[in-house]
């Protein structure tokens, strides 16, 4: 069963060709890591999946909804597809707990007490129960990102998109966030993770996608094999640059 | 010294306070309406509704670049020619509201612009509609940033009500003029009284804003 399907997707920003003939099918429960040099279209690819960017051409099916169709209600897709950002984007005017409960109460119309109980359980899972009533400004980057993950889990999504979730964090904080992501992966969540964490890609990823210049150059379910023997010259260059330091 | 004692007779002070009352009345009413209208116009400019937003933008630019005095003339002397006859107080309120709404709309728009784009992206990704994201996330943060410029704008508004002496609005400055018009020796005492009264009115406004700001910071 596929969760996300790209068929011949093209994306232009004016004249700039950001995504070139993207074909990619992601199954339910799959953990896909997307790597590649900056400006290669990784984030753009991710952002098309929940409609933050519109595709110019081609077909994009997410959770059985057609994103190219103008009549598709984006909110229906976004209810089912969570997103975790590089810069966390926690609601600055809401407490940690409110950040998590806002979506389920306002969008899913679920009872507040029930949602709060679940939110506290999620905070427990990410190790931040004692921060529930603080505002985001009082948290460290790693804490913010774990709250952001809890916020997207609270919607009980079918899939979660991660846009460089650890790139803005101090090295010491990265481990905590990756641990949480690994837990979620083990629970069978469909995950698309744009990242520079090659260790995470190898340990947790079921599949690796390498992008450069708006194209998918490699797409492999043999993650270890990809890192040992990348096929494309561009991928070889990328891998050797990363591991030579 | 004797001039001061004579100038601040009970009758004159009561007369000044009646003027102050009109100043407050016109200011508070204009603040109320211009805050409402300015917020709506500012949002309309931000969300970019085709045609409507450009029209609003044009009107705002037009009004912001005209002297308030001219707008007062138009509402009091020109509107009657097309059948809209307003008394001095309503005319002053309309002119002030029209002008201040335009100024506030720009403050509101720039306040919304100052909220990082990631807040809207996160809210939409969370499943919130555009309107829900605006009401729950964007506007509360924007208003917090807007408080200082809005307060400055309202302080100008209170002071600018004195421009309406030109259409004989019986406000504070006008009443002071009447008092020293009868006795030129009262001019300086009246100026001092004006300074004190305007200061008290505007300083109260600033303190009120500070209290609101403090509550928002704790909320």
CB atoms inside a 10 Å sphere around CB B134: 19
Q: ipTM of the assembly?
A: 0.92
Question: What pairs with residue A5 in β-bridges?
Answer: A25, A61
- Structural domain including B149 reads 2-218
CB contact under 8 A, B121 and A85: yes
Residue B124 touches partner A, C-beta closer than 8 Å: yes
Please determine, for residue B219, whether its predicted confidence score (pLDDT) is greater than 60: no
The strands making up A215-220's β-sheet, listed across from edge to edge, are A81-84, A159-163, A190-194, A31-35, A207-212, A215-220
Q: Give the residue from A84, A106, A119, A157 with the most B CB atoms within 10 Å of its CB, the best one to mutate.
A: A106
The SS3 call for residue B18 is helix
* Beta-sheet pairing, A31-35 with A190-194: parallel
pTM of the model: 0.85
Q: Give the residue from A49, A75, A91, A167 with the most B CB atoms within 10 Å of its CB, the best one to mutate.
A: A91
Quick one: pLDDT at residue B94? 96
Total domains present in chain B: 1
Nearest residue in A to B142, CA atom: A93
Mean per-residue pLDDT, B114-128 = 96
CB contact under 8 A, B127 and A108: yes
Chain A residues near residue B122 by CB distance under 8 angstroms = 83, 85, 89-91, 148
CB contact under 8 A, A52 and B121: yes
Nearest beta carbon to residue B140 from set A93, A108, A148: A93
How much of chain B, in percent, has pLDDT values that exceed 90?
81
How much of chain A, in percent, has pLDDT values that exceed 70?
100
- Look up the CATH number of the domain holding residue B178: 1.10.3720.10
Nearest beta carbon to residue B119 from set A75, A91, A152: A91
Torsion sign over Cα A239, A42, A32, A232 = negative
Residue A137 touches partner B, C-beta closer than 8 Å: no
CB atoms inside a 10 Å sphere around CB A9: 22
Please determine, for residue A93, whether its predicted confidence score (pLDDT) is greater than 70: yes
* Burial profile A145-179: b = 16 or more Cβ within 10 angstroms, e = fewer: bbbbbbbbbbbebbbbbbbbbbeebeeebbebbbe
- A27-51+74-243 is classed in which CATH architecture? 3-Layer(aba) Sandwich (3.40)
Please determine, for residue B214, whether its predicted confidence score (pLDDT) is greater than 60: yes
CA distance A223 to A230: 10
Chain B residues near residue A75 by CB distance under 8 angstroms = 127-129
Residues 131-190 of B with CB under 8 A from A: 132, 136-137, 140-141, 144
Please determine, for residue A245, whether its predicted confidence score (pLDDT) is greater than 70: no
pLDDT class of B48 with cuts at 50, 70, 90: confident
Q: CA gyration radius for chain A?
A: 18
Strands (E), chain A: 2-13, 16-27, 31-35, 57-62, 65-66, 81-84, 159-163, 190-194, 207-212, 215-220
Quick one: pLDDT at residue A74? 87
Chain A residues near residue B140 by CB distance under 8 angstroms = 93
Domain ranges of chain A: 27-51+74-243
The SS3 call for residue A128 is coil
A39-53 confidence digits (pLDDT tens):
899 999 999 999 999
Place of tokens 């996160």: B122
A185-228 confidence digits (pLDDT tens):
999 999 999 999 999 999 999 999 999 999 999 999 999 999 99
Please determine, for residue A243, whether its predicted confidence score (pLDDT) is greater than 90: no
Quick one: pLDDT at residue A242? 82
Total residue count of chain A as it appears in this document: 245
Mean per-residue pLDDT, A143-156 = 96
Closest CA to B119 of B132, B131, B133: B133
Q: Give the residue from B125, B137, B147 with the most A CB atoms within 10 Å of its CB, the best one to mutate.
A: B125
Residue A89 touches partner B, C-beta closer than 8 Å: yes
Quick one: pLDDT at residue A1? 81
CA distance A10 to A17: 8
A151-194 confidence digits (pLDDT tens):
999 999 999 999 999 999 998 889 999 999 999 999 999 999 99
């Amino acid at each position: 069963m596929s969760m996300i399907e790209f068929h011949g997707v093209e994306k232009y920003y004016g004249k700039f060709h950001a995504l070139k003939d993207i074909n990619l099918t992601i199954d339910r429960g799959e953990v896909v890591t997307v790597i590649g040099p900056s400006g290669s279209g990784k984030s753009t690819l991710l952002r098309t999946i929940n409609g933050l960017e519109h595709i110019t051409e081609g077909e994009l099916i997410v959770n059985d909804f057609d994103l190219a169709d103008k009549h598709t209600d984006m909110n229906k897709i976004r209810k089912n597809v969570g997103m975790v950002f590089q810069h966390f984007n926690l609601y600055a005017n809401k407490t940690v707990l409110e950040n998590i409960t806002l979506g389920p109460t306002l969008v899913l119309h679920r009872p507040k007490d029930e949602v709060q109980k679940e939110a506290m359980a999620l905070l427990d899972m990410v190790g931040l129960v004692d921060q529930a009533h603080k505002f985001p400004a009082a948290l460290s980057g790693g804490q913010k990102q774990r709250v952001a993950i809890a916020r997207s889990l609270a919607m009980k999504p079918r899939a979660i998109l991660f846009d460089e979730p650890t790139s803005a964090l101090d090295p010491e904080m990265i481990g905590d966030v990756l641990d949480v992501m690994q837990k979620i992966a083990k629970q069978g969540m469909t995950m698309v993770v744009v990242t520079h964490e090659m260790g995470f890609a190898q340990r947790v990823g079921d599949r690796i996608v390498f992008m450069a210049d708006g194209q998918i150059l490699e797409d492999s379910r043999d993650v270890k094999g990809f890192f040992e023997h990348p096929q494309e010259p561009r991928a070889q260059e990328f891998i050797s640059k990363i591991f030579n330091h | 010294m004797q001039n001061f004692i004579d100038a601040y007779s009970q009758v004159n002070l009561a007369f000044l306070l009646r003027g102050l009352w009109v100043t407050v009345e016109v200011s508070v009413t204009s603040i109320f309406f211009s805050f409402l209208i300015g917020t709506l116009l500012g949002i309309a400019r931000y969300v970019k509704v085709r045609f409507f937003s450009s029209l609003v933008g044009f009107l705002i630019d037009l009004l912001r670049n005209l002297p308030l005095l001219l707008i007062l003339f138009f509402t009091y002397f020109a509107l009657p020619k097309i059948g809209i006859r307003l008394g001095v107080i309503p005319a002053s309120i309309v002119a002030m509201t029209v002008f201040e709404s335009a100024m506030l709309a720009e403050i509101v728009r720039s306040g919304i612009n100052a909220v990082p784009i990631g807040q809207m992206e996160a809210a939409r990704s969370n499943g919130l509609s555009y309107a829900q994201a605006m009401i729950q996330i964007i506007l509360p943060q924007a208003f917090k940033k807007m408080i200082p410029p809005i307060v400055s704008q309202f302080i100008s508004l209170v002071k600018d009500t004195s421009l309406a002496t030109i259409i004989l609005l019986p406000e504070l400055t006008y009443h002071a003029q009447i008092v020293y018009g009868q006795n030129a020796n009262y001019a300086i005492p009246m100026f001092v009284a004006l300074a004190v009264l305007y200061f008290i009115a505007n300083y109260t406004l600033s303190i009120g804003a500070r209290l609101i700001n403090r509550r928002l910071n704790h909320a």
